[in-house]
Amino acid sequence: MIEAESVGETKKIANIELKKIAECAVQNKIIFNEEKSKVMLMGGRKRKEQKEFAIYLKNKPIPQVHKLNYVGIIFDRKLTFKEHINYIDHKCTKLIFSLSKVGKLNWGLNDKALKTIYLVGVLSPLLYGAPVWMN
């Protein structure tokens, strides 16, 4: 993460720091996969500045994205987490619908099994990362 006053300054700092990281990686025999690397400009201010810029790793441009999945949390440019919440909502809704089909009063899974599936399949995804995206 890099914090700067302008997009141009962010670009300059990011390229300098990535060059240092790449040099350190070579010295320590660490290989980065440029194809899996991505860059995203975050911030809530509406600026008139150009928001598209090039960051390089080993002289190859890193693609700029508008959303990024990092350890199971979907980040967007303005940190609203709408995309993440919609994804979790869709995932949990499908599971709850499936649970309603297999858990009837007279047949199907018992209450204990349904509760276990609910805790693991619905509650866990809802609470995962909540300290990050909740506020």
At 15-27, the pLDDT tens digits run 999 899 989 999 9
Per-residue pLDDT 10s for the chain (135 aa) are 788 888 888 889 999 998 999 899 999 999 888 788 898 888 756 666 667 778 888 888 899 999 999 888 999 988 888 999 999 999 989 988 887 777 766 677 777 888 888 888 888 888 888 888 776
Residue 124's CB is within 10 A of a number of other CB atoms, namely 11
Q: Is the pTM of this model over 0.75?
A: no
Q: Rounded distance, CA 50 to CA 52, Å? A: 6
| Helix, strand, coil shares, percent, the chain, to 5 | 45, 15, 40
Domain boundaries, the chain: 7-65, 73-133
DSSP string, 66-103: SEEEETTEEEETTS--HHHHHHHHHHHHHHHHHHHHHB
